[in-house]
């Protein structure tokens, strides 16, 4: 079920209203049923995968907690790792691996090829498997207790606001909330409605509007010169941010009305003055997941420098692979991993430069440089394949410029182009509004955003980008 659909606009108030009518002891069961229905609106048969992951990790966590000795605990955690990663590999990466093998055999002139699997990628599989897997790892580490109530644990895995695109919640934060009794609260509802409206504004006014230009240019990279390609790449940077953070805002708002607190997943990432800062602000739930469950177990920075750089690079390479079964995502992850390594190596030189030009100038230059480097990475992320990405880079860096204004507007006409620029301007303006004014005083912010959605919103139910991950 899409947040930006008529179906959801009926589902949300009905579910939230009934939630407050149910006695506390039955609320978990109602939310569980509502969450399964939410997911089954896509493809009901793939709910079996969520159930399999849920039952396995529920049982494994209890076995780990009850096991005597590290050997037995390790055996049980391997069960959770194998099941969740096997689900991910089968449905997300198997065809990528088979296609790569076929390509290699073709280069080697081997007269055989593997048949690709005829399966669809389950929506949200990367999110709910990582959330459930983090829970069993935390139990294994002794950082959280095993949940003995199967229904409440199942709700933790499939909680509908953040089921298909996060944020990836930790059990220590979310699980205890399902046992709390929340009453309807006006102040909390004001915050939630404003947050939801902000999410819809980001999605419908900014992301979906920018998608028209981006899809046209990136769908025909051979037809466009450097300027439209640069502009499309910058537009995509704002598109993917507003698309993803918009989903998160709606999810946080929906949960907040009922009383639940979800973690913030974005913190104005394009104001970051370094790549390190960018990753502390972008997709925070995923970056902290990889930090806690990959980077630190590899040794983190508590080792010799070359190993530290290796740990950093490998973590971001795996993060790129998490995003999708395409070499473009591998390149995107490698790009950010390499940037972070270079940033560590050049830290003293950068500090001396900032001291020389002054803090304010240094910070401003850092923001511009960071945004530019992030946009370069987004080229890999958005391109259909590596060949298209190389075409984009080739035209940009060879300065193939066509000053034809109609080409710059990508055959979408001046109206959509100007509305796209205006939408980005409004987004940046919202960055600097006080949080109290945006979310805590009254519904004025939501009303203003609703008017903008009605005037500037792009029609249609555009799917959220991160649904494919």
Whole-angstrom distance, CA of residue 23 vs CA of residue 32: 15
pLDDT category at 408 given cuts 50, 70, 90 is low
Would 307 be classed as within a structural domain?
yes
The answer on 155 and 234 residing in a single domain is no
Are residues 352 and 249 located together in one domain of the fold?
A: yes
Q: Residues 172, 212: one domain?
A: no
Q: What is the pLDDT of residue 315?
A: 96
Residue 19: CB atoms within 10 A of its CB come to: 17
Quick one: three-class SS letters along the chain?
A: CCCCCHHHHHHHHHHHHHHHHCCHHHHHHHHHHHHHHHHHCCCHHHHHHHHHHHHHHHHHHHHHHHCCCHHHHHHHHHHHHHHHHHHHHHHHHHHHHHHHHHHHHHHCCCCCCCCCCCCCCCCCHHHHHHHHHHHHHHHHHCCCCCCCCHHHHHHHHHCHHHCCCCCCCCHHHHHHHHHCCCCCCHHHHHHHHHHHHHHHHHHHHHHHHHHHHHHHHHHCHHHCCHHHHHHHHHHHHHHHHHHHHHHHHHHHHHHHHHCCCCCCCCCCHHHCCCHHHHHHHCCHHHHHHHHHHHHHHHCCCCCCHHHHHHHHHHHHHHHHHHHCCCHHHHHHHHHHHHHHHHHHHCHHHHHHHHHHHCHHHHHHHHHHHHHHHHHHHHHHHHCCCHHHHHHHHHHHHCCCCCCCHHHHCCCCHHHHHHHHHHHHHHHHHHHCCCHHHHHHCCCHHHHHHHHHHHHHCCCCCCCCHHHHC
pLDDT-derived band at 292 (thresholds 50, 70, 90) equals very high
Residue 405 has pLDDT above 60, yes or no: no
Whether the per-residue pLDDT at 436 is higher than 80: the answer is no
Q: What is the mean pLDDT of residues 453-461?
A: 82
For residue 408, being part of any structural domain is answered with yes
pLDDT, position 467? 67
Same domain, 169 and 83: yes
pLDDT, tens digit, 9 for 90 and up, residues 134-179: 999 999 999 999 999 999 999 999 999 999 888 999 999 999 999 9
Looking at the domain assignment, is residue 1 inside a domain?
no
List Cβ neighbours of 72 (8 Å cut-off, separation of 6 or more): none
- CA distances (Å), origin 363, targets 135, 327, 339, 351, 374: 38, 33, 18, 11, 16
Residues 95 and 242 in one domain: no
User: In the predicted model, what is the mean pLDDT of residues 176-201?
Assistant: 94
Last residue of a domain, one of 148, 181, 214: 181
Catalytic residue among 7, 323, 336, 363: 323
Same domain, 39 and 131: yes
Query: Known catalytic residue: 323?
Result: yes
What's the whole-model pTM score?
A: 0.92
Q: Do 174 and 88 have their domain in common?
A: yes
Q: Domain total for the chain?
A: 2
Q: Is residue 457 in some structural domain?
A: yes
Q: What is the pLDDT of residue 261?
A: 96
Residue 458: domain span: 187-468
User: What gap in Å lies between CA 87 and CA 99, rounded to an integer?
Assistant: 18
Is residue 256 a part of any domain in this protein?
Answer: yes
**Residue 312: band (very low, low, confident or very high) from pLDDT cuts 50, 70, 90:** very high
321-348 residue pLDDT tens: 999 889 999 999 999 999 999 999 998 9
> Where is average pLDDT lowest: 67-76, 326-335, 374-383, 408-417?
408-417
Mean pLDDT value across residues 186-202: 94
Average pLDDT for residues 244-259, to the nearest whole number?
Answer: 96
Question: Is residue 133 domain-resident?
Answer: yes
What's the pLDDT at 401?
67
Per-residue model confidence (pLDDT) at position 449: 93
Same domain for 219 and 328, yes or no, is yes
8 A C-beta contact, residue 392 and residue 229: yes
In a domain, 87, yes or no: yes
Note whether 341 and 229 are same-domain residues: yes
203 close to 449: Cβ distance less than 8 angstroms: no
The candidate with the shortest Cα–Cα distance to 309, out of 347, 333, 341, is: 341
Among candidate residues 129, 155, 181, the one where a domain is terminated: 181
pLDDT > 90 in the chain, percent: 70
Instruction: Give the per-residue pLDDT at 384.
Output: 93
Q: Where among 156, 181, 206 does a domain terminate?
A: 181
pLDDT at 42: 82
167 cis-preceded (ω within 30 degrees of 0)? yes
Same domain, 144 and 199: no
| In-domain check, residue 439 | yes
223 and 101 share one domain: no
Kindly state the average pLDDT of the residues 6-35: 94
Same structural domain, 418 and 318: yes
Most distant CA atoms of the chain, gap in Å: 73
Query: What is the per-residue pLDDT across 97-145, written as a single tens digit (0 to 9) for each?
Result: 988 888 888 888 787 888 888 888 888 899 999 999 999 999 999 999 9
pLDDT band at 469 (very low <50, low <70, confident <90, very high): low
């Amino acid at each position: 079920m899409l947040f930006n659909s008529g179906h959801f606009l009926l589902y949300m108030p009905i579910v939230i209203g009934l939630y407050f009518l149910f006695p506390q002891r039955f609320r978990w069961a109602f939310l569980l049923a509502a969450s399964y229905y939410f997911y089954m609106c896509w493809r009901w048969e793939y709910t079996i995968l969520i159930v399999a992951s849920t039952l396995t990790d529920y049982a494994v966590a209890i076995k780990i907690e009850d096991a005597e000795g590290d050997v037995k605990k390790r055996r049980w955690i391997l069960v959770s790792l194998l099941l969740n990663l096997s689900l991910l590999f089968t449905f997300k990466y198997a065809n990528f691996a088979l296609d790569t093998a076929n390509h290699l055999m073709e280069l080697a002139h081997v007269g055989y090829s593997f048949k690709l699997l005829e399966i669809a990628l389950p929506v949200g599989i990367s999110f709910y498997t990582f959330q459930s897997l983090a829970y069993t790892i935390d139990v294994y580490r002794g950082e959280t207790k095993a949940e003995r109530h199967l229904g409440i644990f199942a709700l933790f895995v499939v909680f509908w606001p953040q089921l298909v695109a996060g944020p990836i919640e930790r059990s220590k934060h979310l699980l205890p909330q399902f046992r709390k009794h929340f009453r309807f609260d006006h102040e909390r509802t004001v915050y939630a409605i404003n947050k939801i409206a902000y999410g819809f504004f980001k999605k419908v006014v900014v992301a979906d509007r920018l998608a028209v230009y981006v899809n046209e240019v990136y769908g025909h990279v051979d037809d466009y010169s450097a300027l439209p390609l640069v502009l499309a790449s910058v537009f995509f940077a704002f598109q993917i941010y507003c698309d993803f953070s918009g989903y998160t805002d709606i999810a946080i708002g929906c949960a907040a009305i009922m009383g639940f607190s979800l973690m913030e997943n974005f913190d104005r990432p394009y104001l970051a003055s370094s790549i390190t800062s960018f990753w502390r602000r972008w997709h925070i739930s995923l970056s902290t997941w990889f930090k806690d469950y990959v980077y630190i177990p590899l040794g983190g920075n508590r080792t010799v420098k070359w190993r530290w750089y290796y740990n950093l690079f490998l973590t971001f390479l795996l993060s790129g692979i998490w995003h999708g079964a395409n070499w473009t995502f591998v390149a995107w992850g490698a790009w950010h991993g390499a940037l972070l390594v270079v940033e560590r190596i050049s830290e003293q030189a950068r500090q001396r430069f900032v001291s020389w030009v002054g803090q304010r100038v240094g910070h401003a230059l850092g923001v511009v440089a960071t945004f530019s480097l992030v946009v370069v990475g987004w080229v890999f992320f958005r391109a259909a394949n590596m060949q298209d990405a190389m075409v984009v880079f080739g035209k940009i860096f060879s300065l193939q410029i066509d000053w034809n204004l109609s080409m710059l507007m990508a055959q979408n006409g001046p109206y959509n182009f100007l509305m796209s620029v205006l939408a980005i301007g409004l987004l940046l303006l919202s960055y600097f509004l006080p949080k109290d004014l945006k979310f805590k005083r009254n519904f004025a912010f939501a009303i203003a955003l609703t008017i903008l959605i009605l005037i500037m919103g792009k029609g249609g139910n555009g799917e959220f980008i991160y649904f494919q991950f």
